[in-house]
């Protein structure tokens, strides 16, 4: 399901520059990232049209990212794509995967009176507190990573639905067809988001009774070095591991590099999502496949929902993100269906 467009009307006006506050002082001295999004050139035509020319003039959409990796950059590029050619301002902050920083970021954006919020959550509990405040202040929120119905739903205008239970099943079903049964190591992201737990659920359902045995499950916090640490500890305890599953490309890249550095070619490694580095590993002995979905698409869908709400439209709440298993053989056709990123915005989201 894709986001419904607001009522059609005159095309939105372009702008010469999207001005933003820069530096820590702009967000109350919290030391947060607030990059400038310069004018992005000609409109892509992807953004919904408003009911009158110039709608959105002077309004700011705040973007809260849970951390800073290639995945979150792609989410921001999706936001930028939807706002390209409009008169909206854009303010982006990131939380370094820290719950206290995430809450301070969101409360700061709300206190500054942003017109809308796009949130890539670190944990649901932290975001819940903030989106309640946003709704009370009349600020519509779009969630850029939503796994299943939950407490956020009452307060959000729209979500990008990544079916992570289905994604876990995709990974498990692929392994059963393409990998050797045996011991499996799982490198989760951040437990508490709902994302990793639901991949766990789907993977467990798929692998039940298959001969694949998960011997270790541990968080890698979307950090390549921490993910490598999980794998090192796992291989010390279980040197006969046959499969590694990492729940994000940011971690999978580190695991792939570790396998190459140690000349380990007898382990099937599968990851999730995608970034530019991951594509270089895909199809090598160190990365066999990924459960692909586009981070940029999550930003697009969440931002369209927020714009629709601001502009008086009727946002579709649940907007499902395309996903499929990607290998070295089919990666070009998969990315053609759902672009991994929007590189035309690379360098225009400065400091990201």
Strands (E) located in the chain: 60-65, 89-94, 116-119, 141-146, 158-161, 183-188, 213-219, 241-246, 268-272, 289-293, 318-320, 323-326
Q: What is the pLDDT of residue 345?
A: 87
Q: What is the mean pLDDT of residues 253-282?
A: 97
Going by pLDDT thresholds of 50, 70 and 90, the confidence category of residue 262 is: very high
The helix-helix angle for 99-111 and 124-136 (nearest 10°) equals 10
Residue 203 has pLDDT above 80, yes or no: yes
Q: What is the pLDDT of residue 125?
A: 86
What's the CATH fold of domain 24-163+294-345? Rossmann fold (3.40.50)
pTM of the model: 0.80
Strands 323-326 and 289-293: antiparallel
From residue 126, alpha-carbon distances to 100, 189, 257, 314 in Å are 8, 17, 33, 27
Q: Kindly report which listed range (28-32, 158-162, 264-268) carries the lowest average pLDDT score.
A: 28-32
CB-CB contact of 313 with 56 (8 Å):
no
What CA–CA distance (Å, rounded) separates 132 from 127? 9
What CA–CA distance (Å, rounded) separates 233 from 253? 18
β-partners of residue 42 are none
Q: What is the mean pLDDT of residues 303-316?
A: 96
What's the CATH fold of domain 164-292? Rossmann fold (3.40.50)
Residue 14's contacts (CB-CB under 8 Å, 6 or more residues apart) are 39, 42, 43, 85, 86, 87
Strands 141-146 and 183-188: unpaired
Q: Give the angle 37-339-68 at the CA atoms, nearest 5°.
A: 45
β-partners of residue 219 are 188
Q: What is the pLDDT of residue 124?
A: 85
Residue 104 has pLDDT above 70, yes or no: yes
Going by pLDDT thresholds of 50, 70 and 90, the confidence category of residue 352 is: low
What DSSP line would sit under 197-211, residue for residue?
Answer: HHHHHHHHHHHTTSS
Query: C-alpha dihedral over 114, 117, 122, 124, to 10 degrees?
Result: 110
**Residue positions counted in the chain:** 352
Q: Which two tokens stand for residue 327?
A: 């290998």
From residue 84, alpha-carbon distances to 45, 198, 205 in Å are 8, 34, 42
Mean pLDDT over the full length of the chain: 84
Which pLDDT tens digit goes with each residue over 12-34? Answer: 222 222 222 222 223 322 223 33
Residue 116 has pLDDT above 60, yes or no: yes
Q: What is the pLDDT of residue 41?
A: 30
Q: Kindly report which listed range (10-19, 209-218, 225-234) carries the lowest average pLDDT score.
A: 10-19
What CA–CA distance (Å, rounded) separates 112 from 347? 26
CB-CB contact of 248 with 70 (8 Å):
no
As annotated, the residues of the chain forming the CATH 3.40.50.2300 domain(s) are 24-163+294-345, 164-292
Going by pLDDT thresholds of 50, 70 and 90, the confidence category of residue 56 is: low
Percent of the residues in the chain that have a pLDDT greater than 90, as a whole number? 75
Nearest CA-CA partner of 64 in 27, 28, 38: 27
Q: What is the mean pLDDT of residues 264-289?
A: 97
Residue 323 has pLDDT above 70, yes or no: yes
């Amino acid at each position: 399901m894709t986001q419904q467009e607001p009522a059609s009307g005159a095309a939105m006006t372009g702008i010469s520059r999207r001005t933003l506050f820069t530096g820590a002082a702009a967000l109350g001295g919290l030391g947060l990232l607030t990059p400038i999004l310069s004018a992005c050139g000609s409109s892509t035509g992807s953004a919904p049209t408003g009911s009158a020319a110039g709608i959105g003039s002077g309004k700011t959409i705040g973007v809260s990212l849970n951390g800073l990796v290639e995945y979150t950059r792609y989410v921001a590029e999706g936001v930028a794509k939807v706002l390209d050619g409009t008169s909206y301002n854009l303010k982006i902050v990131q939380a370094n995967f820290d719950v206290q920083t995430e809450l301070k970021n969101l409360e700061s954006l709300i206190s500054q009176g942003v017109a809308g919020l796009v949130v890539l959550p670190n944990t649901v509990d932290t975001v819940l507190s903030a989106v309640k405040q946003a709704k009370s202040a009349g600020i519509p929120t779009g969630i850029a990573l939503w796994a299943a119905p939950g407490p956020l739903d009452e307060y959000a205008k729209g979500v990008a639905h990544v079916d992570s239970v289905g994604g876990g099943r995709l990974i498990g079903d692929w392994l059963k067809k393409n990998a050797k049964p045996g011991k499996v190591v799982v490198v989760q992201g951040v437990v508490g988001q709902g994302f990793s737990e639901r991949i766990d659920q789907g993977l467990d359902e798929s692998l039940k009774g298959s001969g694949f045995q998960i011997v270790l499950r541990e968080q890698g916090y979307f950090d390549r070095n921490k993910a490598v640490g999980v794998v090192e500890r796992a291989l010390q305890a279980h040197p006969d591991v046959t499969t590694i599953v990492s729940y994000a490309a940011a971690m999978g890249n580190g695991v792939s590099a570790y396998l190459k550095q140690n000349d380990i070619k007898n382990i099937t490694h599968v990851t999730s999502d995608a970034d530019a580095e991951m594509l270089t590993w895909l199809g090598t002995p160190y990365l066999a496949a990924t459960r692909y979905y586009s981070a940029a698409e999550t930003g697009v869908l969440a931002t369209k929902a927020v714009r629709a709400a601001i502009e008086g439209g009727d946002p579709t709440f649940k907007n499902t993100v395309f996903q499929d298993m990607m290998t070295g053989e089919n990666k070009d056709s998969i990315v053609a269906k759902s672009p991994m990123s929007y590189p035309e915005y690379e360098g225009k989201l400065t400091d990201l």
